[in-house]
Amino acid sequence: MVGASMLWVGWFGFNGGSPFAANGDAVAAAFVTHISAATACVTWMIWERMRFGKASLIGIATGMVAGLASITPAAGHVGPMGALVIGGVAGILCQELINMVKQNFSVDDSLDVFAVHGVGGIWGTLALPFLAATSLGGAGLVKGVSALSQFVVQLAGVIVVAAFTVVMTVVLAMVARALVDMRTERDDEQVGLDLTAHGERAYDLS
């Protein structure tokens, strides 16, 4: 929770610093960032309790990250209501994607990076044109361009970035696999990598 809180505070510099100035845009970006993260915490907690009977601390922290990742593409263009929608949906959407990935795919994603950062970022990117229009009273991100037209542009951007990411990840994974072992032996996993890879324990759990 301490680490998650540090991440939350640090994200203000990330989104609030994007205008490269101490002005109203920076304040607005930091404000909606806070709203989205807090809202995602709440919806994650409620949804987790409804699904599994109790809410967990790590779930609430993960919901916070989902809210931060989701608002980042939109922080400079949506108002408080838009941030509420983005964060509220992110807390449920990302949680469901985590459950889907773990149950249906054999993906070793210990930090749920794709379901939280990937899906959250995609959601915020695609929701932006519609929420920018309602939040700022305009017709879209670009003057004279409809929200639907801007959505198509955003979708194209998501597809291009996804394709680039997949290709580069495969290339880097192939290079890494040629240099080092990519898989840990099952016995080493059981003992723990602190001991087998580094020769010392990080935690004494005896």
- The model's pLDDT over 45-66, given as tens digits with 9 standing for 90+, comes to 999 999 999 999 999 999 999 9
- The model's pLDDT over 101-128, given as tens digits with 9 standing for 90+, comes to 777 777 777 788 888 999 999 999 999 9
Report the predicted TM-score, pTM, of the whole model to 2 decimal places: 0.83
**Pairwise CA distance, residues 71 & 85, whole Å:** 10
Read off the DSSP letter of residue 17. T
The structural domains of the chain, ordered by start, are 2-182 (1.10.3430.10)
Give the tokens for residue 24: 């109203």
